[in-house]
Amino acid sequence: MQSCRDIAYLIASDGLERAGWLTRLLVRLHLLYCRRCRRYAADLDTIGRVSRETWDIASVDSQTVQRLERAITDQVLGKSGDRPPETSGDRAEPSDA
């Protein structure tokens, strides 16, 4: 029988990924009847989801990406002395901004 502590550790360490089928089954059963562990698992899911949303929205500014891409590309061109063909992709070619 696994304790709540064991279940919480398995969940927080992504231990279920490498656990055998019996452990996964026991954890699933435990979560069915243990409201506290269910809540703990839901908390970690929420923290992960909110973190993903936070950094997806806040941290990648397309103008910054374009400016940096231009700077790094110039570094490459500086080394090679030859301008490569434009990169195809789903973003616009970087501007000088």
Partner 1 sequence: MRGGAADPPDLAARIRASDPKAIQEVVHAYLPQILRAARGAGLDAQLAEDVTQSAFGTFIATAPRFEGRSRVRTWLFGILYRKIAEARRRLRRDARMEDIDAVFEQQFDASGSWTRPPRPVDAALEASEVRREIEGCLEGVPTKQRMAFVLREIEELDTEEICKILEVTRTNLGVLLHRARTRLRECLETKGIRG
Contact positions vs partner 1 (CB under 8 A): 2-6, 8-9, 12-15, 17-18, 36-37, 39-40, 42-44, 46-48, 50-56, 58-60, 64-65, 68-69, 71-73, 75-77, 79-80, 82-85, 87, 89, 91
64 touches 53 (CB < 8 A): no
The least distance separating partner 1 from the CB of residue 22, rounded to whole angstroms, comes to 18
**Considering beta carbons, is residue 20 or 89 the nearer one to partner 1?**
89
Measuring CA to CA, which residue among 64, 65, 56 is closest to residue 87?
65
**Considering beta carbons, is residue 25 or 42 the nearer one to partner 1?**
42
Query: Count of CB atoms within 10 A of residue 94's CB?
Result: 20
The least distance separating partner 1 from the CB of residue 29, rounded to whole angstroms, comes to 16
41 touches 47 (CB < 8 A): no
Distance CA(55)–CA(45), nearest Å, equals: 16
